[in-house]
C-alpha cells in the first residue's frame, strides 16, 4: 500500500503490527495490574495489534505477578464466542493458529520455558490454549515477532531502566502500557519508550478523540482525532496582502 501510494505521490497512513510491552513496577496497584494484564493479552483471543504481548515485571514483584498471571491465564474459559461467559474464543483462521503454534514451538526449542498452554485444542474451531512463556532467548520468535494469539512472554527486569531497554529492543513500536505510581518512572516511560502511544496505569486502547498509530515497523501516520483527520488532507496556504 505504501509503495502504491508513493508511486502516485499520495499521502498514506500505515497501521501495521505490534509487540506491545506491558510494564509492572513495584509501586503499581498489583491487583489492577495483573487483572488488566490478563485482559490485555487475551482480548479478542489475543488477535489485536495493541494487545499486550511482552510483560516486563520488576524483580521485586516478579514472582508474585508470575504466579497470579499464570493461574489466571490457565483458568480462562475457552468456548463458543456466542456464549457471554466465554473468555477465549477460536482464532480467525487456521493459518493463524498454525503460525502461533509454530512460534511457540520454535521459542521453546530455542530455550524458552513453557509454564502453561502451548498446544492447539483439536476439534471444531481454531482454538489455542492460553500460553505463558518465560526465559525467552533473544533469537526466539516470541521475543522478536508479533504473536497473534493468546501467548504471553514474561520477562524479569531489575528496574525501570532495564524495562525500557527491553521494551525498546523490538522492531515494533505501536503501544505501551506502564504500571507505576512513581512520578519519576511515569515521566521516564512517557518520554523514553519508543512507541506511538504510552498508557500509564491503563490498558492501551483506541479512542476516537486521540491520535492512534505507531513508530518503527508498526507503521507511520496517525488515525483518529484532529491529527488523524489532517493525515488525509493537504494543508493549503493562502496569503492575501
Q: Which residues are catalytic?
A: 15, 49
Is the Cβ–Cβ distance between 189 and 164 less than 8 Å? yes
Dihedral of CA 163/166/169/170: which sign? negative
Q: What is the DSSP string of 51-106?
A: SEEEEEEEHHHHHHHHHHHHHHHHTPPB--TTSTT-SB---S-HHHHHHHHHHHHH
The CA radius of gyration of the chain, in Å to the nearest whole number, is 19
Cell reading at 70: 499464570
Is the Cβ–Cβ distance between 145 and 40 less than 8 Å? no
By CB neighbour count within 10 A (0-12 exposed, 13-18 middle, 19+ buried), where does 208 fall?
exposed
Is the Cβ–Cβ distance between 52 and 204 less than 8 Å? yes
To which residue does cell 474451531 refer?
125
Question: Whose CA is closest to 159, among 26, 21, 22?
Answer: 26
Q: What is the DSSP string of 123-141?
A: SSS-EE--EEEES--TTSH
Amino acid at each position: 500500500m505504501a509503495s502504491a501510494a508513493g508511486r502516485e505521490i499520495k499521502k498514506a497512513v500505515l497501521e501495521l503490527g505490534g509487540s506491545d510491552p506491558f510494564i509492572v513496577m513495584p509501586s503499581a496497584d498489583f491487583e489492577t495490574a495483573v487483572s488488566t494484564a490478563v485482559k490485555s493479552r487475551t482480548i479478542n483471543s489475543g488477535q489485536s495489534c495493541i494487545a499486550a504481548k511482552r510483560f516486563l515485571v520488576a524483580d521485586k514483584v516478579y514472582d508474585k505477578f508470575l504466579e497470579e498471571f499464570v493461574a489466571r491465564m490457565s483458568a480462562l474459559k475457552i468456548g463458543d464466542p456466542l456464549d457471554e461467559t466465554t473468555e477465549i474464543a477460536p482464532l480467525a483462521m487456521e493459518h493463524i493458529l498454525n503460525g502461533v503454534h509454530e512460534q511457540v514451538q520454535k521459542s521453546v526449542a530455542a530455550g524458552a520455558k513453557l509454564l502453561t498452554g502451548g498446544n492447539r485444542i483439536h476439534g471444531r474451531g481454531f482454538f489455542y490454549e492460553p500460553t505463558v512463556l518465560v526465559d525467552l532467548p533473544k533469537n526466539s520468535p516470541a521475543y522478536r515477532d508479533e504473536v497473534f494469539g493468546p501467548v504471553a512472554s514474561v520477562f524479569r527486569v531489575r528496574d525501570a531502566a532495564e524495562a525500557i531497554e527491553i521494551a525498546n529492543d523490538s522492531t515494533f513500536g505501536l503501544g505501551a502500557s506502564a504500571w507505576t505510581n512513581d512520578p519519576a518512572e511515569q515521566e521516564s516511560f512517557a518520554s523514553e519508550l519508543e512507541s506511538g502511544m504510552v498508557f500509564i496505569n491503563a490498558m492501551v486502547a483506541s479512542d476516537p478523540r486521540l491520535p492512534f498509530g505507531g513508530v518503527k515497523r508498526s507503521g507511520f501516520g496517525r488515525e483518529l482525532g484532529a491529527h488523524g483527520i489532517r493525515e488525509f488532507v493537504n494543508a493549503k496556504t493562502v496569503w492575501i496582502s
